[in-house]
Copies of this chain bind each other. A is one copy, B any other.
Amino acid sequence: MIRSAARLFQRQGYLGTGLVQVVEECGAPRGSIYFHFRGGKEELGLEVIDLWEHGTVHLVHRCAEKAKNDPAEMVVLLAKSLADTMQRSGYVQGCPVSTTALEMTPASETLRVACDHLFVEWQGALCGHFVQAGLSEDRAEALASITVSALEGALILSRTSLSTKPLEVVGQEMSSLVTASLPSPSSRKRRTRAA
């Protein structure tokens, strides 16, 4: 039911998705939604954001592993993964959390806090890999922040332009920014010897 709701939120937003539609999408009996989600739509919204948070953080770690901890390559792979998903969906499935955030802030403080939590965790995951690669905390935090902003924005531009180009550009440009922020190989070696 949460997965069905996430798919619908991705495509048409939180406000545009009715509980009956969620139940129909996943083929569950009508009454079951209030059995599982006594808090109604807001509770289902929280579960969708939570599901997305886990998925996004997991994706960051998977990209870091695939990039053998090269942070510039990690960002390229992350953008590529989002671009592939977007293209496969025919440019209709974006991020369910951005739409929920835009629709429900300030109407629901509960959903705002949950959306903020997702963005903080996503940035935290990126930040950890940047620091591991030798970036200072300050540089890592700034780069994590602009990476998430740029990817979220590119997911919007990708849908309106029916193209993966905006996401690819974010991958390339962020990769340059990360590379420019990395300590030189010699200072990295010194750091490793000191550790």
Segment among A21-29, A62-70, A166-174 that sits at the interface with chain B: A166-174
Determine the chain B residues whose CB is within 8 A of the CB of A120 once the complex forms. 161
Q: Please tell me if A148 contacts chain B, counting CB pairs below 8 Å.
A: yes
* Residue A56, interface by CB 8 Å: no
Closest to A17 in B: B15
Which residues of the other chain, B, contact A102 by a CB distance below 8 angstroms?
Answer: 13, 94, 98-99, 102, 156, 159
Size bracket, chain A contacts = 35 or more
Which one of B92, B107, B149, B165 lies within 8 Å of A154 (CB-CB)? B149
Copies of this protein in the assembly total 2
> A152 to chain B: which residues have CB within 8 Å?
152-153, 156-157
Query: Interface majority SS on A: helix, strand, loop or mixed?
Result: helix
Of A30-38, A127-135, A139-147, A182-190, the one with at least 4 CB within 8 A of chain B: A139-147
The answer to whether residues A12 and B103 also contact, given A142-B169, A153-B151, A153-B152 and a CB cut-off of 8 A, is yes
B159 with A101: CB separation less than 8 A: yes
Contact of A160 among B105, B142, B157, B162 (CB under 8 A): B105
Q: Could you tell me the distance in whole angstroms from the C-beta of A74 to the nearest C-beta in chain B?
A: 17
A-B contact pairs, 25 of them (CB 8 A): A13-B102, A16-B103, A16-B107, A92-B105, A98-B153, A98-B156, A102-B156, A105-B159, A112-B160, A116-B162, A119-B157, A119-B161, A142-B173, A143-B173, A145-B169, A146-B150, A146-B154, A148-B157, A149-B150, A149-B153, A149-B157, A151-B153, A152-B153, A153-B153, A176-B180
**A-B contact sample (13 more), CB < 8 A, given A99-B99, A153-B156:** A11-B106, A12-B107, A13-B15, A13-B102, A13-B103, A16-B107, A98-B102, A116-B160, A142-B172, A145-B165, A146-B174, A148-B157, A149-B154
